[in-house]
């Protein structure tokens, strides 16, 4: 009996050591946000942009993790559009095209548009609500929205996987077709650029709150006098400065 118990303990200890060794090897062979520390077990490196970042373990439940992936992807895409729009309209304002800065754009649209703001708002609610409802149904049942119920579209709405619609209209350049390795690379690049864009949009908003200016004006002021015009001297980022 004693010999059996000792053997069982040795086996359990050996298994634990093997598991710990496997975790260390995994952490060493894949890039992680905190080098030298193993990623959470639910982040195994299969997701695009997975660097093991989940310090609060919010994605432990598989279905919740799946939804967070879609939420990040959609927010990243909107942020990329927003960041590009902010920069391009700012450039347009500087070169005399009459574009407003991003923080004045809504006001200018309302003043110059023949359609009143409540009508625009309700229209947007209906259109975005319809699109988000279709996305939600596709999340719950992948491929279900390619049933032809909208203007006869089938394959265009089936998608390759959740969040990646593909088809002739959503992937007219065929970037998701053919080389699987390239498709994986594009997904990785998209999510990384989406994360950067989300941070950029937050930075644009914070800089406007601090300086009352757009990103190009902020950049020009900083380049003209980097030692005295920076985040530490705007009076808000570091209040005691």
132 is in an annotated binding site: no
Separation CA 110–CA 89 (nearest Å): 17
User: What's the CA gap between 235 and 241, in Å, rounded?
Assistant: 6
Alpha-carbon span 66 to 61, nearest angstrom: 9
Label residue 185 left, alpha or beta by phi (over 0 means left) and psi (-120 to 50 means alpha). Answer: alpha
User: Would the annotation count 42 as a binding residue?
Assistant: no
Q: What is the DSSP letter of 205?
A: H
- On whether the CB atoms of residues 139 and 162 are closer than 8 A, the answer is yes
Could you tell me if 229 and 222 are in contact, meaning their C-beta atoms sit under 8 angstroms apart? yes
CA–CA dist 174, 182 (Å, integer): 11
177 conformational bin, left if phi > 0, alpha if psi -120 to 50, beta if neither: beta
75 is in an annotated binding site: yes
Q: How many CB atoms lie within 10 A of CB 230?
A: 15
Residue 222 marked ligand-binding: yes
Distance of alpha carbon 29 from alpha carbon 13, whole angstroms = 24
Residue 205, both tokens: 């908003």
- Is residue 228 part of an annotated ligand binding site? no
Q: Which two tokens stand for residue 85?
A: 């729009």
Residue with tokens 């279900």: 144
Which SS3 state, helix, strand or coil, does residue 161 take?
A: strand
Q: Which residues are annotated as a binding site?
A: 72, 75, 77, 189-190, 193, 195, 207, 222
Which residues fall in the annotated binding site for chlorophyll b? 77
- In the annotated binding site for chlorophyll a, the residues are 72, 75, 189-190, 193, 195, 207, 222
């Amino acid at each position: 009996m004693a010999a059996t118990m000792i053997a069982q303990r040795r086996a359990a200890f050996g298994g634990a050591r093997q598991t710990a060794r496997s975790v260390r090897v995994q952490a060493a062979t894949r890039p992680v946000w905190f080098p030298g520390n193993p990623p959470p077990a639910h982040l195994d490196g299969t997701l695009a942009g997975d660097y093991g970042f989940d310090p609060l373990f919010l994605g432990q439940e598989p279905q919740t993790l799946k939804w967070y992936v879609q939420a990040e992807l959609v927010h990243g895409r909107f942020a990329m559009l927003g960041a590009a729009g902010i920069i391009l309209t700012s450039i347009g304002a500087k070169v005399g095209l009459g574009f407003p800065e991003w923080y004045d754009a809504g006001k200018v649209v309302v003043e110059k548009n023949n359609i009143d703001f409540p009508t625009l708002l309700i229209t947007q609610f209906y259109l975005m609500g319809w699109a988000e409802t279709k996305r939600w149904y596709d999340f719950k049942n992948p491929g279900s929205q390619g049933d032809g119920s909208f203007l006869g579209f089938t394959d265009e709405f089936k998608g390759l996987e959740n969040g990646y619609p593909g088809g002739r209209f959503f992937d007219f350049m065929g970037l998701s077709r053919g080389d699987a390795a390239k498709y994986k690379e594009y997904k990785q690049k998209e999510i990384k650029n989406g994360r950067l864009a989300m941070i950029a949009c937050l930075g644009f908003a914070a800089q406007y709150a601090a300086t009352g200016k757009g990103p190009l004006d902020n950049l020009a002021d900083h380049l003209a006098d980097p030692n005295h015009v920076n985040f530490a001297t705007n009076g808000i980022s570091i209040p005691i400065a």
